[in-house]
Amino acid sequence: MGDKEYAQQQQINDIIIKGADAIAKYTAQRNKLLAGNPDADTSVIDAQIAKQREVTDRTVAITKRGFSEMDSARSSWALGMTTSLVNYLDQASDVAG
């Protein structure tokens, strides 16, 4: 894994960790509520947990897609630059002298 891939994975890991921290807080709230009343309605907290999982998954997917698009753009730019350089060198060698 190169430096770029390492940095990208770190960004993804940060998103996952933040999501997991939020879920842990909601779970602690849910457990506290149930400790006080085992029959308590936890539907709101359960919905928040599910929404947080969804947001985390979506954010990771968007981030990965962004990295992929940036890699494609860099690759296309480099390919275009290489082709241009080859054409330039071909034209330079064709100069009648």
Q: Return the sign of the alpha-carbon dihedral for residues 62, 63, 66, 71.
A: negative
Q: Are 59 and 14 in contact (CB under 8 A)?
A: no
Q: What is residue 48's predicted lDDT score, i.e. its pLDDT?
A: 98
Encoded tokens for 18: 């933040």
Q: Which residue has the higher pLDDT, 79 or 10?
A: 10
Cα–Cα distance for residue pair 30/2, rounded to 1 Å: 41
Q: What is residue 64's predicted lDDT score, i.e. its pLDDT?
A: 96
Q: What is residue 88's predicted lDDT score, i.e. its pLDDT?
A: 84
Encoded tokens for 34: 């149930």
Tens-place pLDDT, residues 41-95:
999 999 999 999 999 999 999 999 999 988 887 777 777 788 888 888 888 887 6
Q: Are 64 and 12 in contact (CB under 8 A)?
A: yes
Read off the pTM.
0.73
Cα–Cα distance for residue pair 35/10, rounded to 1 Å: 36
